[in-house]
A = this chain, B = another copy of it.
Amino acid sequence: MTLSIGLLAKAADVKVPTIRFYEEIGLLPEPQRAANDRRVYDVGAVRRLAFIRHARQLGFSVEAIRNLLDLSDNPERPCGEANALAARQLDDVEAKIAQLETLRGELRRMVAATCDGRAADCRVIEALAG
């Protein structure tokens, strides 16, 4: 059972050009080509692409994903690196959340003080200026 790029895209819920892009940067291997030069994928490609997509959704960079795929491709290697990557990613996410919560606080104060007059007296503008 083989898939066209369009079917692969649907199967992994990724856009077609994104697949070509991942191939270009080496996250996906160059697939076989049919006689008409079209890319032909197998089920392994769906798994790999889903892996990438999931990792991207978790905020892993392409570089991190490259490492994770590398480990996934070499199951006999120790997985310390994968743990480290996940831990670092968790740190990043927690830092981002903390920062966004600060922003949320400030924005809430701005929004709560909503004014209906002229910009001259606008709390939002004021908050940004001050």
User: Cβ of A125: which chain B residues have Cβ within 8 Å of it?
Assistant: 68, 71-72, 79, 82
User: Cβ of A51: which chain B residues have Cβ within 8 Å of it?
Assistant: 128-129
User: Cβ of A110: which chain B residues have Cβ within 8 Å of it?
Assistant: 86, 90
A4 at the interface (CB under 8 A from B): no
Q: Are A86 and B115 in contact (CB under 8 A)?
A: no
User: Cβ of A108: which chain B residues have Cβ within 8 Å of it?
Assistant: 90
A124 at the interface (CB under 8 A from B): yes
A97 at the interface (CB under 8 A from B): yes
User: Cβ of A96: which chain B residues have Cβ within 8 Å of it?
Assistant: 100
Q: Are B124 and A82 in contact (CB under 8 A)?
A: yes
Q: Are B111 and A59 in contact (CB under 8 A)?
A: no
Interface string of A87-119 (1 = CB under 8 A from B): 101100110110011011011101100111111
User: Footprint of B on A, CB under 8 Å?
Assistant: 47, 50-51, 54-55, 57-59, 68, 71-72, 74-80, 82-83, 85-87, 89-90, 93-94, 96-97, 100-101, 103-104, 106-108, 110-111, 114-122, 124-125, 128-129
6 A-B interface contacts by CB (under 8 A): A68-B125, A79-B116, A79-B117, A79-B119, A79-B121, A79-B122
